[in-house]
Chain A
Amino acid sequence: MSTASDYRKREESVTMSTESAGMGETHELLTLNIGPHHPATHGVLRLIATLEGEVVRDIKPIIGYVHTGIEKTAEQKAYWKAIPVVERMDYLSYYFNAMAYCGAVETLLGLEIPPRAQYLRVIHLELNRIMSHLVWLGTSALDLGAMSMFWYCFREREAILDLFEMSSGQRMHTRYFQIGGVIEDIPVGFAAKVQKFVDEMPTRADQYADLLEKNEIVLSRLRDTCTLDKETLLGLNVTGPLLRAAGVPWDLRKAKPYSSYEHFDFKIPVGSVGDNYDRFRVRHAELYESTRIIDQALNGLPDGPHIADDRKVVLPPRHELATSMEALIHHFKLVTEGFRVPEGECYYPIESPRGELGCFVRADGSAKPARVHMRDPSFVNLQATAPMVKDSYIADLIATLAMVDPVLGGVDR
């Protein structure tokens, strides 16, 4: 038997528990495999569920089906060439991945980020947060049987992607954040388009609420299902909307502000019970708060450079290459070898749509990082699924998985 099939045998060695609580003599446990190809797993998550009738007694998530080796690949690339690779981890929040990574490298370099760049970052981060929540809302509602939500959510998502395309040229994985700031200033007309979107978005979010809040099926599937208290969540290291839904107002944008988040006036939506309904409501409320942040950042956008003025780290402006020898040398050095980062290590946490996204970078003085590690919130939050769905119906397992909102690209990396 080859190694690969050996491995698969071992993976299947999930044994059926015979000592489950409340099991009668006539009952039998059934092991059900869900995934890795299953429409409700939001990617390629595989769950081994142990069922007693229709009740889930235990689930075991098996991950690694989109393991891409991104952390390892990042070690083989120069610091700024690793940004596109890192962006592809959690593929619904690419700006956040880039922000965490750039933030860590900038901290190691001791680079000062110009205020305009910080504000531009905030605008794009919050647009990305709305986009991520829209994809979550659309697909989750699809899982719950409310199909039309998908079309409404993707309508607004396209509007956001148009904005991304306008500022960076790409819809997804934009590589807009550069070490030292953002790669280009926003084009003419961008601000007006964002303003139009910001003015529209609250009405759209009201519309979503109207569609779902009065849907009896959605409500009965969400209310009081799969509740988990905050002590357990904190013990499992869960962050983000899941923790906030259980009543803990923990948000890194407030707790440890980065990229000028302290300049903006916004509130943290907090749930009360910690059931699926609260998880839905918290994310929905975040749509409004993100819109408010974008509005403030756009109207208070400071003038000045969009990227730091350190020629050892930041690419020189394109027009200087034709006139300045020094600029050409800097450009050549940066593009071939990259810049060197002094020895040290840094952990840079930010608040992604799914929770605390931290990037750990260790520099050994060379032009390539010695280690890049992401603390991805999807990976950590996924372990809360088992205690959530224990002793609830298998239909609630699907709803809970939708509300946990794991992105498997971030889990497996």
Chain B
Amino acid sequence: MEVKRESLPQELDFRSRQLMARDMLRGELEGEELERYVEQAVMTTTLEKAVAWAQGNSIYPLTFGLACCAIEMMSIVAARLDIARFGFEAFRASPRQADVIILSGRVSTKMAPVIRRIYDQMLAPKFAISMGACCSSMGVFNNYALVPSDKFLPIDVHVPGCPPRPEALAHGILRLRDKIQHNERAGWRERYDALGTEEILPAGAAAGDGPLAVTAPHADRHSGGIAGA
């Protein structure tokens, strides 16, 4: 929604604006002149921008820890780094209420489908941060047991380190905020076909089935054959 406004005529130079402002302060502007002044003085913006600004400042992360990095993830909430300054402190235990999932630690082949399912349960707009070396590249281990998170999940921000310092994670979070607010994310999810939002149950599986029995066909597409291997 674009707020309509007529721009003031160009010939109205700085001096005359100043004079108008002085009139305004005296309470002498009236009618059409006043409206014009208000339209010029009040910040106008598009709704998308306003929403992005709000979104970027109130990201709710999911309470989700995997390994070592989870301990450092907890310490960003603690007093020293106090991530509440950026509206990030409200950890949500349910994926339905969370905006961002922080993969904090190593992802094993057994855990990967579970993570994908949790991610699918989150509601759009949703983001993913991959924290630590294991999660991004299998880290020091680099063996049969682990999966890099890019294989099964669209990751917005990678935070390197083993484990990353809390400051590094905070930096990653601020990068995510910039991404959301300045619309840097535009396009990449489309390019990589990473727009999945819903949990898709495979044909024949009832909704009340065992919690881990289902792997969405959606997940298979991104897992690169790991979940279904």
Contact = CB atoms under 8 A, between A and B. Distances in A.
Interface residues of B, number: 43
A301 interface: no
B51 interface: no
A84 interface: yes
Given A44-B66, A67-B145, A173-B163, A4 B75 contact: no
A70 B141 contact: yes
A36 to B, nearest CB: 6
Secondary structure call for the B interface: loop
A204 interface: no
B27 to A, nearest CB: 50
B212 A69 contact: no
A64 interface: yes
A91 B70 CA distance: 10
Contact of A72 (B79, B143, B212, B215): B143
Contacts of B163: 171-173
Interface string B94-111: 000000000001101011
B70 to A, nearest CB: 7
A43 B70 contact: yes
Contact of B79 (A2, A4, A151, A171): A151
Interface of A: 2-5, 8-9, 11-12, 33, 36-39, 43-44, 64-70, 72-73, 84-85, 88, 91-92, 135, 139, 150-151, 154-155, 157-158, 171-173, 408-409, 412
Given A91-B71, A135-B71, A66 B227 contact: no
B229 A3 contact: yes
B110 A37 contact: no
B78 A158 contact: yes
Nearest to B202: A5
Contacts of A12: 210, 212-213
Given A68-B141, A69-B145, A158 B212 contact: no
B74 interface: yes
A2 B223 CA distance: 14
A33 B213 CA distance: 13
Contact of A2 (B74, B118, B134, B229): B229
Interface in B108-164: 108, 110-111, 113-114, 118, 134, 140-146, 162-163
A66 B212 contact: no
B213 A8 contact: yes
Contacts of B222: none
B75 A154 contact: yes
Contact of A155 (B64, B66, B79): B79
Interface centre among A3, A68, A158, by most chain B C-beta atoms within 10 angstroms, is A68
A172 B75 contact: no
